[in-house]
Amino acid sequence: MSRAVAVILAALGLVLAAGAVTAPARADTTICEKYGSTTIQNGRYIVQNNNWGDDTTQCINVTSTGFTVTQASHNKPTNGAPGSYPSIYAGCHYANCTSGSGLPMRASDSRFNGVQTSVSMTYPGSGVYDAAYDIWFDPTPRTDGQNTGAEIMVWLNRAGPIQPVGSRVGTVSLAGATWEVWYGNIGWNVISYVRTSATNSIGFAVRTFADDAINRGYAQRSWYLTSVQVGFEPWVGQTGLAVNNFSYSVGGSDGGDPGNGGGGCSAAGTAPAQWYNGYVVDPVTVTNTGSAPTSGWTVTFTLPAGHTLSGSWNATVTTSGQTVTARNASHNGSLAPGAKASFGFQVTRPGGGVQVPSGYTCAAS
């Protein structure tokens, strides 16, 4: 394979065969078909095997919240294209669309400011792969075929001697971390953000990276967001890669049209106890603002620079740089419309500081 062809193919999940099948939604479904897929959470997300770059067998086990690669024997040259892009997404990918995503959505739409996503992942101890979001933009509200605007890739981790399409053009601090910025054009712009320190979880507003790409001239505010995807590109292996939990929301809702019901939530926190080098935020109150019950919720917020989480309660909390993601505990995820739940956390900070977190974002499932 020539380097030029390899670079073109390496742009992530480019092909979903016309004969791909979306099976009925159910948990713990094994998919080994090359382009097989299934819906989960009542069609809110699609999980796809997407073994686009290899003819060896790849299988994934789909759960109600993500998937695990259970069989893979990729052995691709690391200076060429990866073997596949097993992934989960909201929106449209080659005419295979989820329900209630609100996509396509113009980046100039006020609702775009509220598009949020989060993921938690598991990585094996060896192999060659990247773990990446794939956020697609098109000049038109496309629901089928290849997007021709911009592909924003957010690499949370990479293992082995691999690199994104194009060349490195700078570094930037976004979503509580430092990222290498790469750019190339293969018929559409590919802008890759490679985290300088790996993480297995993150939550962010899609506009965080989209705005940076637009400011660099690689995307346009008039283009349409068509899908938000996250998964893995394996070159060698890679059994054991897993998306444990993925979420996508628009303005704290399930992504559907405003006023059409469904799930949604809001979150707000107060810090009643503060001292010289620390504070407690309790409660962070989560409210079901939708017209349907929730089965779970995810709250994302950012700690001020230099602040470190030192404890939490009534939620499962993970950190990625300064970004904190709190997911409901087993006892407080189910909320009737209008019902509330709460959690709390403790933070250490540089002595004499007065800042506390603000801007809590909530997504319901």
- Name the token pair of 42: 């009542």
Q: 233 an active-site residue?
A: yes
How many Å apart are CA 267 and CA 362, to the nearest integer?
6
How many Å apart are CA 259 and CA 254, to the nearest integer?
12
Which of 54, 130, 138, 151 is catalytic? The answer is: 151
Q: 151 an active-site residue?
A: yes
Which of 130, 233, 254, 282 is catalytic? The answer is: 233
Extended beta strands in 51-110, E state: 58-62, 67-72, 74-75, 87-93, 96-97, 105-106
**Cα dihedral 108, 110, 114, 115 sign:** negative
Asked if 186 and 11 count as a contact pair (C-beta separation under 8 A), the reply is: yes
Torsion, Cα 98 100 103 109, to 10 degrees, reads: -170
For residue 112, the 8-state DSSP code is G
Asked if 49 and 34 count as a contact pair (C-beta separation under 8 A), the reply is: yes
Stretch (H or E) spanning 327: strand 323-328
Catalytic residues: 151, 233
